[in-house]
Structure 1
């Protein structure tokens, strides 16, 4: 893995790195730590406050129950109450007299305690009149929930339970205790003190507690709850079946008193309520952090952008120098390091430009004079040989061959003259496919004359392509290579096949021979010559074709050479209806 050095990082990225390490990360970490510490402190304080509120609820309920238990204890030890319910009366009048004399104020405790709603006495004494807070223990009472649930314990101590309301829902809390103070009692007597429903409701509706409160009995069933989503009034529901989020905080207060043994008050506080106040302040924290980000960020971006722009301008100008474009950097020269670098670049560029003007241009002019001199000498040499003289001589020889009935020799001379005329008098860059094929056929006839029956050829040209213009001498160099380098070294008979047609977009040419193929080194040399600007070596014919096609059509043409030990095939595609760019 390549190791990255600090000096390999661009200056703009270095400034951003400084900003990230020195500004961004410290601000983020500071705000995150501050928020977490504040949240934890607020959460701890909230839990403490809610513990106090839950403890107040539990103590208030305990106090209300203890008030009822105290009244039950007073009535339990009151001999007049015991005697009133135990005596067998001969007539109702006797009971009324006894009731008026000893127990007419049975509810005298009710106004004193806000937690007490009413006091009921139950007995199975048939001579007692059930009125004024006294009720008979009949079969319906014996089937009631409060009677059955306290059957085993009310003789020992007061018991807290619930009573049935008019709609058969368990809603009212009662304290039940038996009044059988001795074993000689002949009648069953029970006192039931009804707790005030409004007192219970106000008790649990403590606004300072920020969650749901559950009152659980010794069996972990819900006796009361502020959670309105559960139907605790119609049936006993186990607290274990209540879905509680894992993030919620659960507080509990247990009762150690005998008549509420293993009862407890549980409070469930959702996490969002504990952190509600902190989350309200979160926008302020974010705004403050954002303000701390904006000013440094804008300043860093401005400085980094300015440095990047000025350095990038210098780099662009330096890249133009390699193309001999010595433009100076415009603008005021500043005194910082980049300004000094700009001034030095302008001075160096001006100096190099002056040197080029003084030295290299003079050399180029000298070279141009030498080239012009050589071209003049070449033209003078070429002018000594008149091409028309050669054509006239060849035509005279051809006519004399015809007169002597040497037709084959005359045809060869005609083909030779045609090739020579085309190569010497290059008067146009584009010719038709038909004209190119005529030159190819003339060349192949000469080769056939040379090799006699050793070489055969086949030319198939679609009529639709005969008048399409192509660059002059585009196909014939490939035919020449196929004949000279492919067929000529071959000991057996050789054949050259030429097919020219078209598709929707291209003129398609195929030149195929069954010669000896191209050696691998020679084949690589030909392919490499396509990338050279100057054509050198023996592959000058193919290289010339490729460079001219590239000059005319850029990358719009295709040239593929497939050479095997049993022959070579050349595929050439030239765009149709495309004007060549000169």
Structure 2
């Protein structure tokens, strides 16, 4: 067993778990790398989308003929400009900011001295011409938009040491339409810094993000060690930990972001964190795979040894004329079969086979008699003849006095008593069972008058099927007495009998006072109880009879809530023997 354990259990488990560990950790690491790469790419796409919104707006302004006409017009009076501004200029300037939430402001710088420099229009002064963005725009000398990091407008006049460049802008020269007076016009669209911050920081990325321009300089970073707002820092000048892993997202196909990159740096510890968790899981799993089979093998070995020793000990007793059988549970392996054969041989030697058979037959006979007695005990124990005669006499007297309704009720009552007290017939057709139910409900309707209504539907295919007598009547009685009677304004009972394949389904529903959960649990408890019935009657009687007749082949469903009525369904199999 030890050799078998080492070769067939220990070595295969160790080898399998080593391979599983390498494959799992490799897959986890690759998946983590893909997740981080996708996160960086998502940041890049969202950033480019915000910039493209501003570029789209700039293109609209750049090609707007009416706007350009207003900008190049030489106004004789300020009122003329104000009229043009209010008519068209104000509307187009204010129509984009509410829609594009990433836009901070839109401003057009012009040399036109006849325009009022306010409300989105600025004068192209010498101070403006000294700004970085203006010099860059003039240096490129084309109509394409330029994306650049700029400072706030009120900081233009400050020294370079105090300037905080934390605003991103789209700038372009508006030279789409020719102008006779050659006045220069420049469009500057500022993006909200908060929007850029949200794009770069609202990601589940445990690392730093760098926005690098085409010159390799950092334009934005979530790294607190980089003062990108005040200084020009080259990305290549940064020193990263030896275990840092970089993820790049390029913008090579966009002219205004050409060669701009978004770089994410994550420590290898963060990447391998999930790998280490996977390693711990593999180690625990490997320990379980070793310990559990070891315990099982020890248990099997111990069982084999003990049973073999027990058989040997009893065989020695047989040699000494002590015919004792081995007392143990049955097993299906070879030792268990050997034990069974030994016991059989011992019993044969002692000539006890006949006694066992006789005792078994007697036990089965007693069991059959007990079940028959229990079924008979469920029937009434009184002599019914005098009751039938008395009811018949009352009915005839009622007919003589023209009390037909009373006579009908007495007739129904006599029919119910005669059926319930008949000893020789335990099975009836479904149509007969429904007839008993109708008799009972007519009696209750006579009692409650208009306070109780009922409706009965029976599937024609179920009429001739045989079921235990008075199987469903106690449920109808409970619905009437305990469900409808306490209601001041009465209620309604609906009974339905259907057949589905080899099943008969009895169901009853009422709108009475209902039952609480404790009462419903009590009914379900009758299904589990094996107590003797004694003199108990009603629903418990029915459930006990169904258990004796069908065993576990019948179903009982009870749905009820206080104040909302009760629904009961009983499903029994079609008894083909009884139907024949």
Normalising by structure 2, what TM-score? 0.45
**TM norm structure 1:** 0.44
